[in-house]
Amino acid sequence: MEDQNSCAAVLPASTLTEPLLLPWKGADLASADDLEAAQFPSYGGASFSRTCLNLTNAVSGIGVLSMPYAVAQGGWLSLALFALVGAVCFYTGTLIERCMRADPAAVSSYPDIGALAFGSAGRRAVAAFMYVELYLVAISFLVLEGDNLDKLFPGATVDLLGYRLQGKQLFIALAAAVVLPTTWLKNLGVLAYVSAVGLVASAVLTASLVWAGVAETGFHRNNTSVLNLSGLPTSLGLYFVCFTGHAVFPTIYSSMKNNKHFSKVLLISSVLCSVNYGLTAVLGYMIYGDGVQSQVTLNLPSGKLYSKVAILTTIVNPLAKYALLAVPITAAIEEKFSLPAGSGPARVAISTVVVVSTAVVASTVPFFGYLMSFIGSFLSVMATVIFPCLCFLKIYKAEGIRRIEVAAITGILMIGVFVAVTGTYTSVRQIIGTF
Q: What is the CATH classification number for the domain harbouring 388? A: 1.20.1740.10
Position 242 scores a pLDDT of: 87
Position 343 scores a pLDDT of: 65
Question: Is position 7 within any domain?
Answer: no
Position 27 scores a pLDDT of: 37
Position 18 scores a pLDDT of: 37
Which is more confident, 382 or 209?
382
Question: Is position 239 within any domain?
Answer: yes
Question: Is position 8 within any domain?
Answer: no
Most confident of 50-64, 78-92, 121-135, 296-310: 78-92
pLDDT at 86 over 90: yes
Question: Is position 350 within any domain?
Answer: yes
Residues with Cβ within 8 Å of residue 194, at least 6 apart in sequence: 316, 317, 319, 320
pLDDT at 57 over 90: no
Which is more confident, 365 or 70?
70
Q: What angle do CA 81, 408, 234 make, to 5 degrees?
A: 25
Q: Is the dihedral of CA 264, 22, 255, 96 positive or negative?
A: positive
Mean pLDDT of the chain: 80
Position 192 scores a pLDDT of: 57
At residue 17 the predicted structure's pLDDT band, cuts being 50, 70 and 90, is very low
Q: Is the dihedral of CA 82, 13, 206, 153 positive or negative?
A: negative
Position 55 scores a pLDDT of: 78
- The Cα-based distances of 429 to 43, 297, 381, 383 in angstroms read 48, 25, 18, 22
Position 51 scores a pLDDT of: 78
Neighbours of 148 (CB within 10 A): 25
Question: Is position 308 within any domain?
Answer: yes
pLDDT at 88 over 90: yes
State how many domains the chain has. 1
Position 223 scores a pLDDT of: 64
What would the pLDDT profile of 150-159 be if each residue is shown by its tens digit?
A: 888 887 888 7
Q: Which domain holds residue 191?
A: 32-433
Which of 123-127, 166-170, 193-197, 254-258 is least confident?
A: 193-197
At residue 212 the predicted structure's pLDDT band, cuts being 50, 70 and 90, is confident
pLDDT at 75 over 50: yes
Nearest to 199 by CA among 13, 12, 18: 18
What would the pLDDT profile of 309-352 be if each residue is shown by its tens digit?
A: 888 878 877 877 788 778 778 877 887 777 765 567 888 888 89
Question: Is position 394 within any domain?
Answer: yes
Which of 63-72, 329-338, 386-395 is least confident?
A: 329-338
Question: Is position 23 within any domain?
Answer: no
At residue 353 the predicted structure's pLDDT band, cuts being 50, 70 and 90, is very high
Position 29 scores a pLDDT of: 36
**382 and 109 in contact (C-beta within 8 Å)?**
no
pTM: 0.77
pLDDT at 30 over 50: no
Quote the longest CA-to-CA distance of the chain. 68
Question: Is position 97 within any domain?
Answer: yes
